[in-house]
A and B are shown apart, each in its own frame.
Chain A
Amino acid sequence: MNADYGELLRALLPEALLVATAFLIVSLDLVWGRGRSREGRLQMAVLMGALGVIAAGVVICQDGVLGFVWDGTLNFDRLAISVRVGVLVLTGLSLLGTLGGRGTDQPAEYVALVLLATIGFLQMAVARNLLMAFLGLELASLSLYVLAGYDRTRPESAEAALKYFLQGGVSAAMLLFGFSLLFGLTGSIEFGEIARALVAQPPTALGAVAIGLILAAFGFKVAVAPFHLWAPDVYQGAPTSSAALIASASKLAGVALFWRLLWSGLGPSSGGAGMGISGPGGWVTMVAAMASASLVLGNIVALVQSNFRRLLAYSAIGHAGGLGLGLLSAGEVGPGPMFYYAATYGLATVGAFGCIAVVERNGRCETLVDLAGLRRRSPLVAGCLAVFILSLAGIPPLAGFFGKFVVFAVALRIDGLGHPAGWVALLAIGMSAVALYYYLLVLKQVWVVEAEVESPRIAVPTMAAWALVATALALLFFGIFPSLLLGLF
């Protein structure tokens, strides 16, 4: 292997910047933060973290498309660049959400961990080889486990971390097992060569097992049924900004990673239209089945939730079905619709968790009833939350609508109902009508119902307010001009 470390370092400069920022934050906190208030230390850490994220983003945008790096181990293509920028934006917004929330005892370590998780996401976006994929995935996951359990004052947080860790550990083991089978079958860890080897050999039962194991890990990462069980507990128990990160950036990166793995590595086993090979190992059918299960389960179970975060979790499971559908159609039409869906979904989710964080700072925000009278307590938060929820529900002109529209349209475009994606799309359209009910239940509390107990007005920290408004406007803007994102591909 002709390794050029200079080239590698140049390409991974954004990651290096984030590592440096993480260390800088921890050291500064140790030196400068001693004896200062928790609030001041948090602000310092978030500010530094945000600067690091912005610097990394600027470098990524300036570098642009680099193509294959380090003998094709990494692929800096258009999707990679878009996902890397998207991940950084979502991370930045989650960090600002930390400012609005309750805060923690060790803010510097918290922000440093967020940055480490982000490095994992950035790696997931470019990995083009089994080892790098696993490395990025695990770096992100391990950081997220800690972040989920970061609030030591609440037992729910520890519970969330433990559940997330145990299920994540199992799924990582399955992924690794799948990878080793794949290596045994094809003799390579590089996506392109795996694909070439798969074309040359007939589908085997062992290949099907490998694919099944890999899809289980995908299901865990993106919370697709039946691997979704961690989601409600983690969303409920984890600190709010951790949950925001897990629900948004982590999913965007996960979808990008598995898009690359499934289409450029396992494309010959897709069994889908256009690839010319259909066999028992065809994963398109499997993903279609998982997506359908996710759509039905997520949206139906969300109907009966009384806890706002669990409702968001089940809505996320429903949306994971939509993401799976986007993944299916990405082989035919490219990753544009899938990226649009994942990115705008991430924005809306980060925004919703940002609202939760702000409300939580001034009282409880657990059940839907806790949102009652929010309209009076803070018109700003109530308005922004309405935008996020309506975007999740898919109401135009917000971005959530066009995301659904374009994913469903291209899914039906593949081959009408001749392709499983067409059926999943029809199911998803039906489920979006079901979903409106529980989204309206949230908005009913926020905008219609009056609080039983008069609660004080909510003071929104300036930075958090700007972040919420910017996110809401971005959803409106990308909803009206979706070509700005779709045109990237």
Chain B
Amino acid sequence: MTIIKSDLVPVRSEQDIVLARQSVRKVAQEIGFGIVDQTKIVTAASELARNTVVYGLGGEMRWETLEDGGRKGLRLHFVDRGPGIEDVARALTDGWTSGSGLGLGLSGAKRLVNDFEIETAPGRGTRVTITRWK
């Protein structure tokens, strides 16, 4: 698997959430994602960017366009240095939220992509990586 292109986008404010999903949209279009695939990855990005701002207290998103044996994909890393998540299994449960949200951010984003990984520990921040293949 090769990374073709990559860039870093700050995710620190509500306005950054909009900018993050716009940059994901642009890259998804560039690599030829159809409208449904675009909408899914952009929506997942929106959920995760909001988590980065609200729960992670700000961080960044790195996007990477991938090529693996002829197929193309888009990978997004959301990284923050916030408080981390104590109980990941619970955080991935539909409807569970530590804040005032609907509790669909992580679990919903996971359903919208092909690969989903989360690395987190209390006090060590959170890194969520998602990939959608064309």
Q: State whether these chains interact.
A: no
